[in-house]
């Protein structure tokens, strides 16, 4: 995982200013939101093409998001709306409808 | 209110202020699930979340007169809901993790220090495995410091738009994004760890 001098897992990167650290910590969210300028986006993609660890990291980051979305919806107690109305009315002096 | 037109939040607010019981009922119908889920995100307990939801709507009923109609209703109301949940949560404080311990590590030249990048993606393709991971992810979120926990819960579980979350939490958009990203990195790291070494995690847990 070395862009400038050669190392395991990641070949030399022609644009060494975008390190794995910057990509993961500073740029990943912007890239995923689609808010990144195209030139920077191209540089980001180029890094991914050359860097399997970052590509795997991106994949697992996306799968984290998909995993979290499986938590929705929470099981809402079926009579919650009625319970809330009864609770509020009991404490505000209103009669049940 | 007629069935043909859907009243806006502001319509309902004005109705409640004017004493229209149907407006309040509509507000409960519209928001009770979101308030419950938001409360659950903070409290991690169904009974507490239900009670917090009741208190939130009671506060809405009693304090609606203080709502400034030039503001967005949801941010005011989510804030009410969060405050109710926080108030209950303080009665049962929980230990939280040091999020820095779970951030990806890099060497002085900006490369991963770990010899192998985590790769737990294949397991997520299996439905049962994915559900198991989701259940674990929920536990991991619960261990986050509140500033991170609430942001990731609201964005990635509740899918509330970022602008609304920032307004509700009264933080800047950059602060919201920073917290969200770090919370995601944390959850990703925890999920990667259990996916790589499930036996070890089970033994530890």
- Give the CATH number, domain containing residue B15: 1.10.1740.10
In tens, the pLDDT along A25-65 reads 999 999 999 989 999 999 999 999 999 999 989 998 998 98
Please, which residues 8-67 of chain A have a Cβ atom closer than 8 Å to chain B? Answer: 8-10, 19-22, 24-25, 28-29, 52-54, 56-57, 59-61, 63-67
Least confident of A34-48, B73-87, B184-198: B184-198
| More confident position, B32 or B128 | B32
Domain span at residue B40 reads 9-89
- Say whether both B110 and B82 belong to one domain: no
* Helix H or strand E segment including B149: helix B146-152
- Say whether both B105 and B57 belong to one domain: no
Per the confidence metrics, is the pTM higher than 0.90? Answer: no
* Helix H or strand E segment including A65: helix A52-69
The structural domain count of chain B equals 2
pLDDT class of B77 with cuts at 50, 70, 90: very high
Rounded mean pLDDT of B89-114? 89
Q: How far apart are CA B67 and CA B77, in angstroms?
A: 9
Mean of the per-residue pLDDT values of chain B: 87
Q: Which of B134, B159, B180 minimises the CB distance to A67?
A: B134
The residues that bridge with B106 in the sheet, in sequence order, are B112
- Say whether both B107 and B189 belong to one domain: yes
Q: Which of A19, A54, A84 minimises the CB distance to B57?
A: A84
A70/B158 touch (CB, cutoff 8 Å), yes or no: no
Asked if residue B113 is part of any domain, the answer here is: yes
Among residues B89, B110, B136, which one ends one of the domains? B89
- Give the CATH number, domain containing residue B194: 1.10.10.10
Instruction: Classify B170 in phi/psi space as left (phi over 0), alpha (psi -120 to 50) or beta.
Output: left
In tens, the pLDDT along B124-176 reads 567 788 888 888 999 999 899 999 999 999 999 888 999 999 999 999 999 99
pLDDT at A7: 46
Best A67, A81, A82, A95 residue to mutate vs chain B (most B CBs within 10 Å): A67
pLDDT surpasses 80 at B34:
yes
- Per CB-CB distance under 8 Å, the chain A contacts of B156 are 65, 68-69
B32/A22 touch (CB, cutoff 8 Å), yes or no: no
- Per CB-CB distance under 8 Å, the chain B contacts of A75 are 46
Contact B103, B182 (CB under 8 A): yes
Contact B52, B88 (CB under 8 A): yes
Asked if residue B2 is part of any domain, the answer here is: no
| Min Cα separation B204/chain A (Å) | 22
| Min Cα separation A49/chain B (Å) | 15
A20/B111 touch (CB, cutoff 8 Å), yes or no: yes
pLDDT at A73: 59
CA atoms within 13 A on the CB side of B200: 7
Best A33, A60, A89 residue to mutate vs chain B (most B CBs within 10 Å): A60
Contact A67, A80 (CB under 8 A): no
pLDDT at A1: 42
**Domain limits of chain A?**
20-72
- Say whether both B79 and B106 belong to one domain: no
| Residue whose tokens read 């919201």 | B176
Best A12, A74, A89 residue to mutate vs chain B (most B CBs within 10 Å): A74
* Helix H or strand E segment including B205: none
Q: How far apart are CA B72 and CA A46, in angstroms?
A: 42
What is the predicted ipTM?
0.77
- Say whether both B78 and B148 belong to one domain: no
pLDDT surpasses 70 at A96:
no
Among residues B89, B121, B147, which one ends one of the domains? B89
Rounded mean pLDDT of B25-39? 94
pLDDT surpasses 80 at B181:
yes
Q: How far apart are CA B31 and CA B23, in angstroms?
A: 12
- Say whether both B122 and B53 belong to one domain: no
Q: Considering only CA atoms, which of B74, B53, B40 is closest in space to residue A81? A: B53
């Amino acid at each position: 995982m070395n862009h400038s001098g050669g190392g395991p897992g990641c070949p030399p990167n022609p644009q060494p200013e975008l390190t794995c650290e910057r990509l993961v910590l500073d740029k990943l969210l912007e890239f995923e939101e689609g808010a990144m300028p195209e030139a920077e986006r191209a540089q980001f993609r180029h890094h991914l093409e050359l860097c399997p660890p970052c590509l795997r990291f991106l994949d697992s980051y996306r799968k984290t998001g998909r995993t979290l979305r499986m938590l929705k919806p929470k099981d809402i107690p079926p009579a919650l709306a009625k319970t809330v109305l009864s609770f509020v009315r009991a404490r505000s002096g209103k009669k049940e409808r | 209110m007629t069935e043909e037109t859907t009243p806006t939040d502001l319509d309902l607010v004005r109705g409640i202020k004017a004493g229209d019981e149907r407006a309040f009922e509509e507000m409960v119908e519209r928001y009770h699930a979101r308030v419950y889920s938001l409360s659950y995100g903070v409290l991690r307990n169904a009974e507490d979340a239900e009670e917090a939801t009741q208190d939130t709507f009671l506060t809405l009923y009693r304090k609606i007169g203080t709502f400034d109609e030039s503001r967005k209703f949801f941010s005011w109301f989510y804030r009410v809901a969060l405050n109710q949940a926080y108030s209950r949560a303080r009665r049962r404080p929980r230990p939280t993790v040091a999020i820095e311990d779970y951030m990806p590590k890099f060497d002085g030249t900006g490369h991963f220090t770990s010899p192998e990048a985590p790769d737990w993606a294949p397991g997520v393709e299996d439905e049962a495995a994915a559900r198991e991971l989701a259940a674990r992810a929920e536990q991991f979120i619960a261990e986050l410091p509140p500033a991170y926990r609430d942001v990731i819960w609201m964005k990635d579980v509740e899918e509330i738009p970022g602008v609304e979350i920032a307004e509700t939490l009264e933080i800047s958009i950059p602060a919201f994004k920073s917290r969200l990203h770090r919370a995601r990195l944390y959850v990703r790291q925890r999920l990667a760890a259990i996916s790589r070494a499930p036996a070890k995690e089970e033994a530890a847990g």
